[in-house]
Amino acid sequence: MKVVIVGGVAGGASAAARIRRLDEQAEITVFERSGYISYANCGLPYYIGGTIREESKLTLQTPASFWNRFRVKMNVRHEVTSVNPKEKTVTVKNLETGAVFTENYDKLILSPGAKPVMPNIGGIADDRIFTLRTVEDTLKIKRYVDERKPKSAVVVGGGFVGIEIAENLRGLDMDVTLVEATEQLMASFDTDMAAFIHAEIRKNGVKLMLGHTVESFAGTDCGIDVSLNDAPALRADMVVMAIGAAPETALAKAAGLELGIKNSIVVNDRMETSEPDIYAVGDAVQIKNFMTEEDTHIPLAGPANKQGRIAADNICGIDSRYTGGQGSAIIKVFDMTAAVTGMNEKTANALGLSTDKVILSPMSHASYYPGGKMLTLKVLFEKETYRLLGAQIVGFDGVDKRIDVLATAMRAGMKAHELAELDLAYAPPYSSAKDPVNMAGYIIENMKKGVVKQWYYEDIETLAYDEEVTLLDTRTAAEYNGGHIEGCINIPVDELRERIEELDRTKPVYIICRSGLRSYIASRMLMGYGFDAYNFAGGMILYEAVHNDKALNRQSTPCGMAVN
């Protein structure tokens, strides 16, 4: 059996190695257009910033190492220019010599990846405007930074690559502005959770221009002028475009393969395309969303590796199925970590789902053990069925393990309130006896049983001016005096029983504290006295993050970067 693979990196290289492990006699040939067959794509920004110091660390395998271990013919700087499904051949161009030749196959795997989106606007061809997708892109930026010593940069796009390159350029003491067309960074997060990401980025000196699009570039001797749609132009020594990546499917289209969302390649759960004996994997393919069963495009390394393995299994006669992706992802944002799995509220609402949520801000580990830090979890679930729909976490320690627990619970089909039953490891340096994931389950269980009712940030505008309700802040007087929601009265939770007559029993009471714990205790206390009480989800930690973010977003022109 002869297998030809178009493209290496995550999907293609994984498929090649798996085929060899399953079939020692198979002839396996890989054609990769770039000069690197298997590299750490997600590590590229950190080489530019100097966290990863050695260029060699970016390369996971070389053609020689792949041949030595797997006897796979890895051909770099070779571009497959066409596929002929009827004749079962591919046409290949050697980019070093210009030679063109034909290669036959029994099975073909397409793993062409994706290409950076570049808008068709004026000045985009300036050699000081970069993209970051391949090792070659990385080396080009690194060379420019080392040789030209730029003092300022504009990064366009607020997704994974945009945030990571902004952080790394800022770490080189550059004046960095991050421009994003929408009102928030990281579209997979809801606006309330994205507020924490914005705050961390601003704290570290990166200027945010949210809700602005780039209209054109103009190169000058002094730098690049970046014209925006409704704000003064910016000037910088370099620009990095990171507005997304589009599936690289021109080859598949020309071969007559069926295409779907964003022109991605349509595959079934065996990773088979519309043409017999042709498989496709990675960033170029359309897959099923595990949570919604709808077609989607999720260009992440984890799914690509799994898909490469599944395609290899099926080629070698093992029935293997890809059950879909749920978009589990994590990102380092300076000192903060942000992670997500499943759908967010925006998506759930667009699908017409009836949802509820819990937001809590517990410590990353036992509060009495030194070094604990606050993290904020948001768990989304379906109201009637309590089906887990998604989760988002921001914090500084323990974010990764909590998002993985929640992603696993979702994959296993657990109900939201069943999170309370998880038997999770505990020791003071790592967690609390009530792990934050358990705590989310406890809250949902309480909601299910009617023990607690919640209110949310989006309710504030209505409730703050409603004379028929009472807003109650149960923090200490010192905390309250340091900043509070307009219209809230202050009765510390430990004084509430003695001062309960200060509250009107005929009015619902909407309660808030710093993290949600004291307000929960207060709500149970008031319900015991016959009050209709509601606990604020996320506490003042969430309220302040969102409130401050909204205020700062209105001040959208960063100081010191406008063109004179």
Could you tell me which of 41, 32, 162 has the C-alpha nearest to residue 110?
32
Q: Which residues are catalytic?
A: 42
- The type of residue at 510 is Y
Residue 478: is it exposed, middle or buried by C-beta count within 10 angstroms (0-12/13-18/19+)? exposed
- The type of residue at 97 is T
Question: Residue 150's Cα: distance from chain center in Å?
Answer: 29
Could you tell me which of 286, 418, 441 has the C-alpha nearest to residue 362?
441
Could you tell me which of 320, 311, 289, 490 has the C-alpha nearest to residue 390?
289
The DSSP 8-state label assigned to residue 321 in this structure reads: -
The DSSP 8-state label assigned to residue 165 in this structure reads: H
The string of DSSP letters for 266-311 reads E--TT-B-SSTTEEE-GGGEEEEBTTT--EE----HHHHHHHHHHH
Rounded CA-CA distance 102/121 in Å is 38
CB atoms within 10 A of CB 220: 10
In total, the chain counts a number of residues equal to 564
